Amino acid sequence: MARVVITEFCDPDAVELLTAVHDVTYDRKLADRPGVLLTLVADADALVVRNRTRVDADLLAAAPICEIGRLGVGLDNIDVAVCESGGVAVRTAAGADAVAVAEHVIGALLSLARPALRATGRILGGEWPRTDLVGIELAGRHLGLVGLGATAREVAARGLGLGMEVVAFDPFVTEAPAGITLADLEDVFRVGESISVHVPLTPETTGLVDATRPGLLPAGALLVDTSRGGVVDHRAVVEAPHAGHLGGAALDVFAKEPPVMCRCTRACRT
């Protein structure tokens, strides 16, 4: 029987299955209590985390862990090099939520394309802003994908189903599925009337969508980021709509989560 520590939210059914065959400690708040976590992992064989638990050299030095399970796909919170040098296997749930995220992306694009979905407050306030809520059709427009992994391919399939033209950038992909055109990153932004970001957070991708990228986009383009906070420079994205580059953006991830929200005016730069 293995000793397993789960540090963040895990599906109750999965916890029950693990508990039936292993000695499981499940505390979804352990990511915020590193001192307690270091004590609990002292005799652990396996660690199950999401994206907030830092799996670094200090934690691995405190535990005889032989396996780490990541409930997700990103590894930016796990020091993979230290794990490899210590013989610690790292396993992710790659592809498990690809369809769910793809549907989320398409839903976000449709919401951005159809401002009527955001008109409830104005209508309840007595307005009838019909001419402001025409929106655009996604059919016939270019969908640009930054990254072409499992989730991005699910997004592409749905984009193609809507009649979109799909173009993608991924330096690790040399042949794309039917209907997807591979291109350089700059070209994806130049033609992408809708952009969806699907890359992990690495030194190479940090700030990948910076202040220069929105200026390449066609006027009124839409941007969706469901990858990792830090890949997109949010200040650049916030400022871009006022310069006419972006018609809207949906940001599902942040460099700091939960984000620190500013309640002052649009002119704020803090």
pLDDT tens digit sequence for 181-220: 999 999 999 999 999 999 988 889 999 999 889 889 999 9
pLDDT at position 263 is: 58
Q: 264: which DSSP letter?
A: S
Q: Are residues 115 and 244 in the same domain?
A: yes
CATH assignment of the domain containing 226: 3.40.50.720
Q: Are residues 153 and 246 in the same domain?
A: yes
Residues of the domain holding 193 = 98-251
Mean pLDDT, residues 223-242: 88
> What's the CA gap between 153 and 145, in Å, rounded?
9
Residue 214 tokens, joined: 């929105």
Residue 134 counted as domain residue: yes
For residue 115, the one-letter residue type is P
pLDDT at position 268 is: 47
Residue 260 counted as domain residue: no
Residue 270 counted as domain residue: no
The neighbouring-strand residues paired with 48 are 6, 69
Residue 14 counted as domain residue: yes
116: pLDDT confidence band, cut at 50, 70 and 90? confident
pLDDT at position 261 is: 67
pLDDT (tens digit per residue) in 250-259: 999 988 877 7
> What's the CA gap between 54 and 263, in Å, rounded?
30
Q: Give the chain's domain count.
A: 2
Q: Are residues 112 and 219 in the same domain?
A: yes
Q: Are residues 31 and 137 in the same domain?
A: no
Q: Are residues 41 and 114 in the same domain?
A: no
- φ/ψ of residue 145, rounded to 5: -110, 125
134: pLDDT confidence band, cut at 50, 70 and 90? confident
Last residue of a domain, one of 92, 115, 131: 92
pLDDT at position 264 is: 53
Q: Are residues 246 and 137 in the same domain?
A: yes
Residue 262 counted as domain residue: no
pLDDT: which is higher, 87 or 93: 87
Residue 263 counted as domain residue: no
C-alpha closest to that of 183 among 211, 216, 161, 212: 216
Mean pLDDT, residues 73-86: 88
Please check the confidence at residue 267 and state whether its pLDDT lies above 70.
no
Q: Are residues 11 and 135 in the same domain?
A: no
